[in-house]
Chains A and B, each alone.
Chain A
Amino acid sequence: MTFVIQLMSGLAVGCIYGLVAIGFSMIYRAMGLVNFAQADIMMIGAFLGYAILVAAPGIPFWLAIIGAMLGAALLGFVIERVAIRPSVARRADQVYLVLLTLGIGIVLSNGARLIWGADPVVYPTGLTHQTLTLAGYPLPAVYLYIAVVMPALLVGLHLFFTRTWLGLALRAAADDPDTAATMGVRPALATSVSFALASAIGAAAGVLYAPISYVSFDMGVIGVKAFAAAVVGTLGSIPGAVLGGFIIGLGETFGGQLIATEYQDSIAFAIMIGILLLKPTGLLSGARR
């Protein structure tokens, strides 16, 4: 029983890390920037989901996910246009841009505290405490949503980036902005769209994570582990972000059990350090992104 439960719990948490890590990677790939506000956007997404569920009691959970994703996409778009783009236009150094994203994260965190309060909140839906039994193993019902939404998002992203003009334009603008511009792609708009998309995926992670735990303005702290996941899988690689999420999620779950639960957090970072020592550019460097 212990092994299967550890596996399920590690995979579920790994999915959340992976989704937040995808956001890190998308923005890094689009503009070479590590957006440390990504985890706070996840937190805002979780609160938007909460606001939707409170405002419309009984609304299907998947609608709360979509609503939060749309709200976060708009927020990400605005952040890019209002804060990031002007700094990039003034040729701000990468260090300052990273500090800027840290500042945005703090503003988002304090903003959430002002709007939703300092106390943690719980999603007012049966899903928060609902369980189901699968092959004799009790599981939180929200794991089913994670199991459906995560692959659906990955397939959706794959189709978007390989089958749609906008997706191809985003990839072109990320790989070679000058050439993409000559083909009619506006690199600035591509960056805005990437930000919006990354924010929407972060929000999905937040809404899916909320019923597992609770929502609080400081829940963005899991972003550190998500960033570790993105780095392990190679920053900029979407499959790498997912792989990194699973490695960190499963690693800390099994590692905590095998070594000592007191060091569960340290184990996640020990894994990252170990992998980067062996492969400094991450596990999927050189692979197609």
Chain B
Amino acid sequence: MVRGLTARRSGFGVLLAAALPLLATPAFAKEIKIGFICPLSGAVAVYGNDSLEAAKVALDEIAKSKMLGEHTIKLVTADTGGNPSQAAQAVQRMIDADEVHAVFGGCTSPETAAAIEITEAAKVPLLSHLAQDTSLTQKGNKYFARIAQTAKTFSSSAAQWVLESRKAKSVYILARNDNYGQSLADAFEEKSKELGVTVAGRVAYEPNGREFKPILAKMAEAKPDFVSILGFYTDTGLIMKQMGELQIAIPTFANTSPAIRQFREIAGPAANGAYGALYYFAGSIDTARGKEFTANWQAKYKRQPTQYEGMGYDGIYVLADAIRRASAAGKLTSEGIRDALLTTKGFEGATGTITIQPNGDVVRPLPFVQLTGDELKLDFLMK
């Protein structure tokens, strides 16, 4: 099913199909519907709420700048609650009832995997700004792309950075027992071994778990030099809080969590010194575009953008850029948008330069940070 912007709804389908190249002109200006799926409630609501807020800011800017000529983008939002089946239902409804031309999201890997099942069948492009599960781009999906590094790249780079900079000889890995956590853990373990670092233990914990002390007590007995927690901010926060309660003082890598306020609140003083790798760190991109974004955000919200806001903002711009190029090529269809998306090269985003590879994976900067007190400091930017 090729999703043209006008032909489907018109009685003059054939005629309009022939006129598709003219869609870029004002006379054929249309509303382009984009689905947005992320958790807007639940334990990881912050991913979705931050992303949505930034997506709306980006859409306002796109509309004001006339980046798409007379075309406009309408966002159709749905709350997945972080639940894959809810995500799949939402995407199906967006495609069938709202007739969206592309979908943006999800925020977690499991919900994105569920959404891909639907978008691939319907031949609707899906761009995720946060999903990292390595396998998402290894199954021959033709309509999926992302602007977040794969878990393998992300975790492998993180392992190299933290273990080398800390000169660790052994590491203990705690990871969520789901695709996301396990793919991060696989890459972290593989890189650790490659670096000659002993993996003192690896535990898969219940994603909904709230009591980690038995695991932590066992971990403390292994006396690792370093701990790597690969999960969402609620579980990494609770694990670090309970490490503090057990007086376990081992340098810890807490995935993307150190940048999240709720992580710091949950973990409390135990979060001090935590290392993290972020999708994006405000102030780390010294291009004109990067500076303009943080300055505008500071002026509007009186604070710096979060990593999820940065990714939500850039994700919408990458999608809009693909729509613009598809329109210019006279192929403003779902397939045309997909083709343009997969040929995104050197896109100067607010969060860094973004290049999407033919399989849908991305090449982009990766900032590493450390939490000192309540302040997050950039340690290193991997370009």
Binding site for B on A (CB under 8 A): 1-2, 5-6, 8-9, 13, 113, 118-122, 128-129, 131, 138-140, 212-214, 216-218, 221-222, 253-254, 256-257, 261-262, 264-265
Least Cβ–Cβ distance between A255 and chain B, in angstroms: 10
User: Which residues of chain A are within 8 angstroms of B46 by Cβ–Cβ distance?
Assistant: 119
**Once the chains are docked, how many angstroms separate the CA of A257 from the CA of B201?**
14
**Once the chains are docked, how many angstroms separate the CA of A113 from the CA of B43?**
12
Least Cβ–Cβ distance between A215 and chain B, in angstroms: 10
Check A221–B234 contact: CB distance below 8 A: no
**Once the chains are docked, how many angstroms separate the CA of A212 from the CA of B210?**
9
Check A256–B214 contact: CB distance below 8 A: yes
Residue of A nearest to B45 (CB): A118
Cβ contacts B253-268/A at 8 Å (1 or 0 each): 0000000001001101
Check B244–A214 contact: CB distance below 8 A: no
Q: Which of B205, B217, B269 contacts A5 (CB 8 A)?
A: B217
Give the number of A-B contacts (CB < 8 Å): 95
**Once the chains are docked, how many angstroms separate the CA of A60 from the CA of B211?**
26
User: Which residues of chain B are within 8 angstroms of A139 by Cβ–Cβ distance?
Assistant: 245
Check A120–B214 contact: CB distance below 8 A: no
> Nearest 4 pairs between A and B by C-beta?
A129-B268, A118-B45, A118-B41, A2-B217
Contacting residues of chain B (201-252) with chain A, CB-CB under 8 angstroms: 203-206, 208-211, 213-215, 217-218, 220-221, 234, 237-238, 241, 244-247
Check B245–A131 contact: CB distance below 8 A: yes
Q: Which of A5, A214, A261 contacts B203 (CB 8 A)?
A: A261
User: Does B49 reach chain A (CB closer than 8 Å)?
Assistant: yes
Least Cβ–Cβ distance between A248 and chain B, in angstroms: 12
**Once the chains are docked, how many angstroms separate the CA of A196 from the CA of B213?**
34
29 A-B residue pairings within 8 Å (CB atoms): A2-B214, A2-B221, A5-B217, A5-B246, A9-B213, A9-B214, A118-B40, A118-B41, A119-B45, A119-B46, A119-B49, A120-B234, A122-B265, A122-B266, A122-B268, A128-B268, A129-B269, A131-B245, A214-B265, A218-B41, A218-B42, A221-B208, A253-B214, A254-B214, A257-B214, A257-B215, A257-B218, A262-B177, A262-B205
Check B265–A5 contact: CB distance below 8 A: no
User: Which residues of chain B are within 8 angstroms of A218 by Cβ–Cβ distance?
Assistant: 41-43
